[in-house]
Amino acid sequence: MDVEKIRKDFPILERMVNGKKIAYLDNGATSQKPREVIDAIVRYYSEYNANVHRGVHKLSEESTVAYEDARRKIAEFINASEEEIIFVKNASEALNLVMYSYGMANVNAGDRVSISIMEHHSNFVPWQVLARRKRAKLEILDVGKEGELVGLEKASGSKIVSISHASNVLGTINDAEKICRVAHEGGGVAVIDASQSVPHMPIDVKKMDCDFLAFTGHKMLGPTGIGVLYGKKELLEKMEPFLYGGDMIIEVKKESSKWNALPYKFEAGTPNIEGAIGLGVAVDYLNKVGMEEIRKHEIELLSYAIGKLKDEVTIYGPLDARKRTGLITFNVAGVHAHDVATILDEDGVEIRSGHHCAQPLHDRLGLESSARASFYLYNTKGEVDRLVDGIKKVKRVFA
Protein backbone atom coordinates (compact mmCIF):
# COMPACT_ATOMS: atom_id res chain seq x y z
CA MET A 1 0.00 0.00 0.00
CA ASP A 2 1.58 3.24 -1.19
CA VAL A 3 0.34 5.96 1.17
CA GLU A 4 2.12 8.79 -0.66
CA LYS A 5 0.41 7.75 -3.88
CA ILE A 6 -2.96 7.49 -2.10
CA ARG A 7 -2.52 10.99 -0.63
CA LYS A 8 -2.29 12.45 -4.13
CA ASP A 9 -5.84 11.25 -4.79
CA PHE A 10 -7.23 13.47 -2.02
CA PRO A 11 -7.15 17.13 -3.08
CA ILE A 12 -8.06 18.44 0.39
CA LEU A 13 -4.89 17.04 1.94
CA GLU A 14 -3.04 19.93 0.26
CA ARG A 15 -5.09 22.38 2.29
CA MET A 16 -3.18 24.77 4.54
CA VAL A 17 -4.46 25.70 8.01
CA ASN A 18 -2.72 28.48 9.92
CA GLY A 19 0.13 28.38 7.41
CA LYS A 20 0.70 24.63 7.81
CA LYS A 21 -0.37 21.70 5.70
CA ILE A 22 -3.24 19.93 7.45
CA ALA A 23 -2.76 16.67 9.28
CA TYR A 24 -6.36 15.47 9.11
CA LEU A 25 -6.91 13.19 12.10
CA ASP A 26 -10.68 13.44 12.48
CA ASN A 27 -11.68 10.52 10.30
CA GLY A 28 -13.94 9.07 12.97
CA ALA A 29 -16.18 12.10 12.40
CA THR A 30 -15.93 12.08 8.62
CA SER A 31 -13.37 11.00 6.05
CA GLN A 32 -12.01 13.04 3.16
CA LYS A 33 -12.99 12.22 -0.42
CA PRO A 34 -10.79 11.05 -3.28
CA ARG A 35 -10.87 12.92 -6.60
CA GLU A 36 -12.72 9.97 -8.18
CA VAL A 37 -15.70 10.39 -5.84
CA ILE A 38 -15.82 14.17 -6.35
CA ASP A 39 -15.59 13.69 -10.13
CA ALA A 40 -18.36 11.06 -10.14
CA ILE A 41 -20.74 13.53 -8.50
CA VAL A 42 -19.80 16.29 -10.92
CA ARG A 43 -20.18 13.89 -13.85
CA TYR A 44 -23.64 12.83 -12.66
CA TYR A 45 -24.87 16.42 -12.60
CA SER A 46 -23.05 17.42 -15.80
CA GLU A 47 -23.99 14.43 -17.92
CA TYR A 48 -26.98 12.36 -16.80
CA ASN A 49 -28.92 13.99 -13.97
CA ALA A 50 -32.48 12.61 -13.99
CA ASN A 51 -34.80 11.02 -11.48
CA VAL A 52 -34.45 7.29 -10.94
CA HIS A 53 -37.02 4.49 -11.46
CA ARG A 54 -39.36 6.87 -13.27
CA GLY A 55 -38.67 8.07 -16.80
CA VAL A 56 -38.08 5.89 -19.79
CA HIS A 57 -35.88 8.46 -21.42
CA LYS A 58 -32.16 8.04 -21.86
CA LEU A 59 -31.03 10.19 -18.93
CA SER A 60 -33.37 8.49 -16.48
CA GLU A 61 -32.21 5.08 -17.66
CA GLU A 62 -28.61 6.10 -17.12
CA SER A 63 -29.17 7.51 -13.66
CA THR A 64 -31.21 4.43 -12.63
CA VAL A 65 -28.47 2.10 -13.85
CA ALA A 66 -25.81 4.11 -11.98
CA TYR A 67 -27.88 4.20 -8.79
CA GLU A 68 -28.56 0.45 -8.89
CA ASP A 69 -24.97 -0.24 -9.85
CA ALA A 70 -23.92 1.49 -6.65
CA ARG A 71 -26.27 -0.74 -4.67
CA ARG A 72 -24.72 -3.83 -6.25
CA LYS A 73 -21.19 -2.67 -5.37
CA ILE A 74 -22.17 -2.02 -1.76
CA ALA A 75 -23.95 -5.37 -1.51
CA GLU A 76 -20.83 -7.17 -2.77
CA PHE A 77 -18.65 -5.12 -0.42
CA ILE A 78 -20.35 -6.60 2.67
CA ASN A 79 -21.41 -9.90 1.07
CA ALA A 80 -25.15 -9.18 0.96
CA SER A 81 -27.66 -9.39 -1.88
CA GLU A 82 -28.90 -6.22 -3.58
CA GLU A 83 -32.46 -6.41 -2.24
CA GLU A 84 -31.03 -6.38 1.28
CA ILE A 85 -29.33 -3.00 0.81
CA ILE A 86 -31.52 -0.04 1.70
CA PHE A 87 -30.23 3.43 0.99
CA VAL A 88 -30.88 5.85 3.83
CA LYS A 89 -29.50 9.21 4.91
CA ASN A 90 -26.98 7.96 7.47
CA ALA A 91 -26.49 5.36 10.20
CA SER A 92 -28.89 7.21 12.51
CA GLU A 93 -31.69 6.88 9.98
CA ALA A 94 -30.82 3.22 9.43
CA LEU A 95 -31.09 2.52 13.17
CA ASN A 96 -34.30 4.55 13.45
CA LEU A 97 -35.74 2.52 10.58
CA VAL A 98 -35.08 -0.69 12.50
CA MET A 99 -36.47 0.80 15.68
CA TYR A 100 -39.69 2.01 14.07
CA SER A 101 -40.35 -0.74 11.55
CA TYR A 102 -39.08 -3.73 13.49
CA GLY A 103 -38.92 -2.59 17.13
CA MET A 104 -42.34 -0.96 17.38
CA ALA A 105 -43.98 -4.05 15.87
CA ASN A 106 -42.11 -6.71 17.83
CA VAL A 107 -41.23 -5.32 21.25
CA ASN A 108 -43.97 -5.38 23.88
CA ALA A 109 -44.41 -4.38 27.51
CA GLY A 110 -42.06 -6.34 29.74
CA ASP A 111 -39.73 -7.32 26.88
CA ARG A 112 -36.08 -6.45 27.02
CA VAL A 113 -33.81 -4.58 24.61
CA SER A 114 -30.03 -4.67 25.11
CA ILE A 115 -27.47 -2.06 24.15
CA SER A 116 -24.11 -1.12 25.67
CA ILE A 117 -22.73 1.88 27.51
CA MET A 118 -20.25 2.48 24.68
CA GLU A 119 -22.94 3.24 22.10
CA HIS A 120 -22.97 6.42 20.05
CA HIS A 121 -26.16 8.40 20.71
CA SER A 122 -27.51 7.15 17.37
CA ASN A 123 -27.57 3.59 18.72
CA PHE A 124 -28.62 4.65 22.21
CA VAL A 125 -31.47 7.15 22.00
CA PRO A 126 -33.75 5.22 19.57
CA TRP A 127 -33.74 2.18 21.90
CA GLN A 128 -34.25 4.36 24.94
CA VAL A 129 -37.34 5.83 23.26
CA LEU A 130 -38.60 2.43 22.14
CA ALA A 131 -38.25 1.02 25.66
CA ARG A 132 -40.11 3.96 27.14
CA ARG A 133 -42.94 3.84 24.61
CA LYS A 134 -43.37 0.09 24.87
CA ARG A 135 -42.65 -0.11 28.59
CA ALA A 136 -39.88 -2.52 27.80
CA LYS A 137 -36.69 -2.84 29.80
CA LEU A 138 -33.56 -1.22 28.40
CA GLU A 139 -30.53 -3.17 29.49
CA ILE A 140 -27.22 -1.37 29.16
CA LEU A 141 -24.19 -3.64 29.08
CA ASP A 142 -21.10 -2.29 30.77
CA VAL A 143 -17.45 -1.95 29.75
CA GLY A 144 -14.43 -3.33 31.57
CA LYS A 145 -11.06 -1.76 32.45
CA GLU A 146 -9.65 -2.23 28.97
CA GLY A 147 -12.75 -0.75 27.37
CA GLU A 148 -14.03 -4.22 26.50
CA LEU A 149 -17.70 -5.18 26.46
CA VAL A 150 -18.63 -7.20 29.56
CA GLY A 151 -21.62 -9.32 30.51
CA LEU A 152 -22.77 -10.01 26.96
CA GLU A 153 -24.46 -13.25 28.08
CA LYS A 154 -26.98 -11.09 29.99
CA ALA A 155 -28.36 -9.99 26.63
CA SER A 156 -29.61 -13.50 25.93
CA GLY A 157 -33.40 -13.41 25.89
CA SER A 158 -33.62 -9.79 24.73
CA LYS A 159 -35.95 -9.11 21.80
CA ILE A 160 -33.31 -6.84 20.24
CA VAL A 161 -29.58 -6.68 20.91
CA SER A 162 -28.14 -3.56 19.29
CA ILE A 163 -24.42 -3.00 19.76
CA SER A 164 -21.68 -1.23 17.87
CA HIS A 165 -19.10 -3.30 16.04
CA ALA A 166 -16.44 -0.74 17.01
CA SER A 167 -16.69 2.04 19.57
CA ASN A 168 -16.23 5.57 18.26
CA VAL A 169 -14.57 6.57 21.56
CA LEU A 170 -12.80 3.53 22.98
CA GLY A 171 -11.93 2.09 19.60
CA THR A 172 -12.80 -1.33 21.01
CA ILE A 173 -13.71 -3.85 18.34
CA ASN A 174 -16.53 -5.97 19.67
CA ASP A 175 -16.98 -9.60 18.74
CA ALA A 176 -19.95 -9.05 16.43
CA GLU A 177 -20.31 -12.76 15.65
CA LYS A 178 -20.65 -13.51 19.33
CA ILE A 179 -23.15 -10.68 19.83
CA CYS A 180 -25.30 -12.14 17.06
CA ARG A 181 -24.98 -15.65 18.46
CA VAL A 182 -26.07 -14.54 21.94
CA ALA A 183 -29.02 -12.59 20.50
CA HIS A 184 -30.14 -15.54 18.39
CA GLU A 185 -29.76 -18.14 21.15
CA GLY A 186 -32.19 -16.13 23.25
CA GLY A 187 -34.63 -15.80 20.34
CA GLY A 188 -33.89 -12.14 19.58
CA VAL A 189 -32.46 -10.23 16.64
CA ALA A 190 -29.01 -8.63 16.44
CA VAL A 191 -28.49 -5.09 15.15
CA ILE A 192 -24.90 -4.08 14.53
CA ASP A 193 -23.90 -0.42 14.28
CA ALA A 194 -20.96 -0.74 11.92
CA SER A 195 -20.34 2.99 11.39
CA GLN A 196 -16.79 2.70 12.72
CA SER A 197 -15.96 -0.71 11.28
CA VAL A 198 -17.17 -0.87 7.66
CA PRO A 199 -14.75 1.94 6.63
CA HIS A 200 -11.78 0.26 8.29
CA MET A 201 -11.91 -3.53 7.94
CA PRO A 202 -13.42 -6.29 5.79
CA ILE A 203 -17.05 -7.01 6.69
CA ASP A 204 -19.05 -10.09 5.81
CA VAL A 205 -22.67 -9.96 6.98
CA LYS A 206 -23.21 -13.65 6.26
CA LYS A 207 -20.26 -14.69 8.40
CA MET A 208 -21.28 -12.24 11.11
CA ASP A 209 -24.88 -13.47 10.85
CA CYS A 210 -26.32 -10.10 11.92
CA ASP A 211 -29.98 -9.39 11.25
CA PHE A 212 -29.39 -5.69 10.60
CA LEU A 213 -26.22 -3.71 9.97
CA ALA A 214 -26.09 0.09 9.81
CA PHE A 215 -23.34 2.30 8.43
CA THR A 216 -22.83 5.67 6.83
CA GLY A 217 -21.17 6.68 3.57
CA HIS A 218 -19.27 9.78 4.56
CA LYS A 219 -16.95 7.96 6.96
CA MET A 220 -15.79 5.65 4.12
CA LEU A 221 -14.70 8.17 1.47
CA GLY A 222 -18.27 8.73 0.22
CA PRO A 223 -20.41 11.86 0.30
CA THR A 224 -22.56 12.96 3.24
CA GLY A 225 -26.30 12.28 3.23
CA ILE A 226 -26.04 8.65 2.14
CA GLY A 227 -26.03 5.68 4.46
CA VAL A 228 -26.91 2.02 4.31
CA LEU A 229 -29.11 -0.36 6.21
CA TYR A 230 -28.50 -4.02 5.54
CA GLY A 231 -31.29 -6.31 6.68
CA LYS A 232 -31.90 -10.03 6.24
CA LYS A 233 -34.40 -10.49 3.45
CA GLU A 234 -36.86 -12.60 5.45
CA LEU A 235 -37.03 -9.93 8.14
CA LEU A 236 -37.30 -6.98 5.77
CA GLU A 237 -40.11 -8.72 3.91
CA LYS A 238 -42.18 -9.02 7.06
CA MET A 239 -41.63 -5.43 8.15
CA GLU A 240 -43.91 -2.49 7.46
CA PRO A 241 -42.38 0.50 5.62
CA PHE A 242 -40.72 3.24 7.65
CA LEU A 243 -41.68 6.14 5.37
CA TYR A 244 -44.60 6.29 2.98
CA GLY A 245 -44.83 8.06 -0.37
CA GLY A 246 -43.48 7.86 -3.87
CA ASP A 247 -41.42 4.98 -5.23
CA MET A 248 -42.18 2.70 -2.29
CA ILE A 249 -45.55 1.61 -3.69
CA ILE A 250 -46.58 -0.71 -6.49
CA GLU A 251 -50.19 0.41 -6.65
CA VAL A 252 -52.17 3.18 -5.00
CA LYS A 253 -55.96 3.07 -4.83
CA LYS A 254 -58.31 5.39 -2.99
CA GLU A 255 -58.73 2.95 -0.13
CA SER A 256 -55.34 1.36 0.19
CA SER A 257 -51.99 0.81 -1.41
CA LYS A 258 -49.64 -2.07 -2.09
CA TRP A 259 -46.01 -1.84 -1.14
CA ASN A 260 -43.21 -2.15 -3.61
CA ALA A 261 -40.70 -5.02 -3.52
CA LEU A 262 -37.45 -4.94 -1.56
CA PRO A 263 -35.49 -2.76 -1.20
CA TYR A 264 -37.77 -0.05 -2.66
CA LYS A 265 -40.42 -0.59 0.02
CA PHE A 266 -38.05 1.26 2.35
CA GLU A 267 -36.95 4.02 -0.02
CA ALA A 268 -39.80 6.52 -0.20
CA GLY A 269 -39.33 9.62 -2.30
CA THR A 270 -36.55 10.68 -4.64
CA PRO A 271 -33.38 9.29 -3.08
CA ASN A 272 -29.94 10.83 -2.75
CA ILE A 273 -28.88 9.74 -6.23
CA GLU A 274 -25.51 11.46 -6.38
CA GLY A 275 -24.81 10.26 -2.85
CA ALA A 276 -25.39 6.63 -3.79
CA ILE A 277 -23.32 6.96 -6.96
CA GLY A 278 -20.53 8.66 -5.01
CA LEU A 279 -20.60 5.93 -2.36
CA GLY A 280 -20.39 3.27 -5.07
CA VAL A 281 -17.23 4.93 -6.39
CA ALA A 282 -15.86 5.18 -2.84
CA VAL A 283 -16.34 1.42 -2.49
CA ASP A 284 -14.47 0.91 -5.78
CA TYR A 285 -11.63 2.97 -4.35
CA LEU A 286 -11.55 1.00 -1.09
CA ASN A 287 -11.58 -2.28 -3.02
CA LYS A 288 -8.71 -1.07 -5.19
CA VAL A 289 -6.59 -0.40 -2.10
CA GLY A 290 -7.91 -3.46 -0.26
CA MET A 291 -9.62 -3.53 3.11
CA GLU A 292 -7.04 -5.93 4.59
CA GLU A 293 -4.32 -3.50 3.56
CA ILE A 294 -6.16 -0.55 5.13
CA ARG A 295 -6.61 -2.47 8.37
CA LYS A 296 -2.91 -3.39 8.44
CA HIS A 297 -1.91 0.22 7.82
CA GLU A 298 -4.12 1.46 10.64
CA ILE A 299 -2.77 -1.14 13.08
CA GLU A 300 0.73 0.04 12.22
CA LEU A 301 -0.18 3.71 12.77
CA LEU A 302 -2.00 2.85 15.99
CA SER A 303 0.89 0.86 17.47
CA TYR A 304 3.24 3.69 16.59
CA ALA A 305 0.95 6.34 18.09
CA ILE A 306 0.14 4.36 21.24
CA GLY A 307 3.86 3.79 21.82
CA LYS A 308 4.57 7.51 21.60
CA LEU A 309 1.53 8.69 23.54
CA LYS A 310 1.02 6.23 26.37
CA ASP A 311 3.38 8.08 28.70
CA GLU A 312 2.20 11.54 27.66
CA VAL A 313 -1.58 11.25 27.99
CA THR A 314 -4.34 9.05 29.40
CA ILE A 315 -5.55 6.76 26.62
CA TYR A 316 -9.00 5.18 26.87
CA GLY A 317 -9.79 1.72 25.57
CA PRO A 318 -7.53 -1.23 24.77
CA LEU A 319 -3.80 -0.53 24.33
CA ASP A 320 -3.37 -3.47 21.98
CA ALA A 321 -3.74 -2.01 18.47
CA ARG A 322 -5.19 -5.26 17.14
CA LYS A 323 -8.15 -4.90 19.50
CA ARG A 324 -9.17 -1.43 18.33
CA THR A 325 -10.00 0.53 15.22
CA GLY A 326 -7.79 3.34 14.01
CA LEU A 327 -8.58 5.89 16.65
CA ILE A 328 -7.13 7.04 19.96
CA THR A 329 -9.21 8.93 22.50
CA PHE A 330 -7.23 10.60 25.23
CA ASN A 331 -6.94 13.41 27.74
CA VAL A 332 -4.02 15.57 28.74
CA ALA A 333 -4.06 15.84 32.54
CA GLY A 334 -5.59 19.09 33.73
CA VAL A 335 -6.35 20.44 30.25
CA HIS A 336 -9.80 20.59 28.68
CA ALA A 337 -10.06 18.66 25.40
CA HIS A 338 -11.21 21.81 23.57
CA ASP A 339 -7.99 23.54 24.53
CA VAL A 340 -5.98 20.55 23.32
CA ALA A 341 -7.80 20.65 19.98
CA THR A 342 -7.40 24.42 19.61
CA ILE A 343 -3.66 24.33 20.22
CA LEU A 344 -3.21 21.41 17.81
CA ASP A 345 -5.28 23.27 15.23
CA GLU A 346 -2.85 26.15 15.40
CA ASP A 347 -0.31 23.77 13.90
CA GLY A 348 -2.76 22.36 11.36
CA VAL A 349 -3.37 19.12 13.27
CA GLU A 350 -7.11 18.49 13.12
CA ILE A 351 -8.57 16.35 15.90
CA ARG A 352 -11.95 16.05 17.57
CA SER A 353 -12.82 17.16 21.09
CA GLY A 354 -15.97 16.89 23.17
CA HIS A 355 -18.02 13.86 24.08
CA HIS A 356 -18.20 12.46 20.54
CA CYS A 357 -21.95 11.83 20.78
CA ALA A 358 -21.29 9.31 23.54
CA GLN A 359 -22.35 11.09 26.70
CA PRO A 360 -23.38 7.95 28.66
CA LEU A 361 -19.91 6.51 28.09
CA HIS A 362 -18.23 9.72 29.25
CA ASP A 363 -20.39 9.69 32.37
CA ARG A 364 -19.46 6.06 32.96
CA LEU A 365 -15.76 6.90 32.67
CA GLY A 366 -16.20 10.02 34.82
CA LEU A 367 -15.10 12.33 32.02
CA GLU A 368 -16.47 15.70 30.95
CA SER A 369 -14.89 15.43 27.55
CA SER A 370 -12.03 13.87 25.67
CA ALA A 371 -9.84 14.44 22.63
CA ARG A 372 -9.74 11.98 19.75
CA ALA A 373 -7.31 11.43 16.91
CA SER A 374 -8.66 9.06 14.28
CA PHE A 375 -6.71 7.68 11.34
CA TYR A 376 -7.44 6.45 7.85
CA LEU A 377 -5.66 5.06 4.83
CA TYR A 378 -4.01 8.38 3.90
CA ASN A 379 -2.51 9.18 7.30
CA THR A 380 1.21 8.84 7.92
CA LYS A 381 3.64 8.33 10.78
CA GLY A 382 4.81 11.87 10.08
CA GLU A 383 1.32 13.10 10.96
CA VAL A 384 1.36 11.03 14.16
CA ASP A 385 4.65 12.77 15.00
CA ARG A 386 2.97 16.15 14.51
CA LEU A 387 0.18 15.02 16.85
CA VAL A 388 2.70 13.98 19.49
CA ASP A 389 4.64 17.24 19.14
CA GLY A 390 1.40 19.18 19.46
CA ILE A 391 0.46 17.34 22.64
CA LYS A 392 3.90 18.06 24.11
CA LYS A 393 3.32 21.71 23.30
CA VAL A 394 -0.08 21.62 25.06
CA LYS A 395 1.60 20.25 28.14
CA ARG A 396 4.24 22.98 28.04
CA VAL A 397 1.70 25.76 27.56
CA PHE A 398 -0.65 24.58 30.29
CA ALA A 399 2.04 23.51 32.76
Partner 1 sequence: MSIEYERIVHIWKNPPNRGEMKDADLVAEGANPICGDKVRVFLKIKDGKIADASFTGEGCAISIASASLLLDYLKGKKVEEIENVGKEKVMELLELDLSRNPSRLKCALLPLMALKSGKIR
Binding of partner 1 at residue 128 (CB under 8 A)? no
Residue 210 falls in the annotated catalytic set = no
- The C-alpha atoms of residue 263 and residue 231 are separated, in whole angstroms, by 10
Minimum distance of partner 1 from residue 168's CB (angstroms): 16
Q: Is 372 helix (H, G, I), strand (E, B) or coil?
A: strand
Is the CB of 78 or the CB of 341 nearer to partner 1? 341
- Binds partner 1 (CB under 8 A): choice among 151, 186, 290, 354: 354
Binding of partner 1 at residue 122 (CB under 8 A)? no
Is the CB of 301 or the CB of 337 nearer to partner 1? 337
Catalytic-labelled residue, pool 357, 369, 395, 398: 357
- List 316's β-bridge partners, or say none: 329
Minimum distance of partner 1 from residue 89's CB (angstroms): 22
Q: Within a 10 A sphere around the Cβ of 335, how many other Cβ atoms?
A: 18
Strands across the sheet with 149-150, in order?
85-88, 227-231, 212-216, 189-193, 160-164, 112-116, 137-143, 149-150
Binding of partner 1 at residue 206 (CB under 8 A)? no
Q: Is 258 helix (H, G, I), strand (E, B) or coil?
A: strand
Q: Is 189 helix (H, G, I), strand (E, B) or coil?
A: strand
Is the CB of 53 or the CB of 336 nearer to partner 1? 336
| φ, ψ for residue 59, nearest 5 deg | -60, -40
- Binds partner 1 (CB under 8 A): choice among 362, 365, 372, 374: 362
**Interface stretch with partner 1, choices 78-86, 169-177, 185-193, 364-372 (CB under 8 A):** 364-372
Minimum distance of partner 1 from residue 397's CB (angstroms): 6
Is the CB of 224 or the CB of 369 nearer to partner 1? 369
- The C-alpha atoms of residue 331 and residue 215 are separated, in whole angstroms, by 28
- Binds partner 1 (CB under 8 A): choice among 5, 238, 338, 381: 338
**Site string (159-198) toward partner 1, x via CB under 8 A:** ----------------------------------------
- The C-alpha atoms of residue 143 and residue 150 are separated, in whole angstroms, by 5
Give the β-pairing of 327-331 and 370-374: antiparallel
DSSP string, 131-185: HHHHT-EEEEEEE-TTS-EE-GGGGTT-SEEEEESB-TTT-BBP-HHHHHHHHHH
Binding of partner 1 at residue 339 (CB under 8 A)? yes
- The C-alpha atoms of residue 33 and residue 12 are separated, in whole angstroms, by 8
Binding of partner 1 at residue 397 (CB under 8 A)? yes
Residues 6+ apart with CB under 8 A from 194: 164, 165, 166, 176, 203, 213, 214, 215
CB-neighbour burial class of residue 79 (10 A; exposed 0-12, middle 13-18, buried 19+): middle
- Binds partner 1 (CB under 8 A): choice among 108, 287, 314, 342: 342
- Binds partner 1 (CB under 8 A): choice among 367, 380, 385, 395: 367
Q: Which of residues 295-314 bind partner 1 (CB under 8 A)?
A: none
- Binds partner 1 (CB under 8 A): choice among 143, 337, 371, 388: 337
Binding of partner 1 at residue 336 (CB under 8 A)? yes
Minimum distance of partner 1 from residue 368's CB (angstroms): 3
Binding of partner 1 at residue 343 (CB under 8 A)? yes
For binding to partner 1 (CB under 8 A), which residues are involved? 336-339, 342-343, 346, 353-355, 359, 362, 367-369, 393, 397-398
Catalytic residues: 357
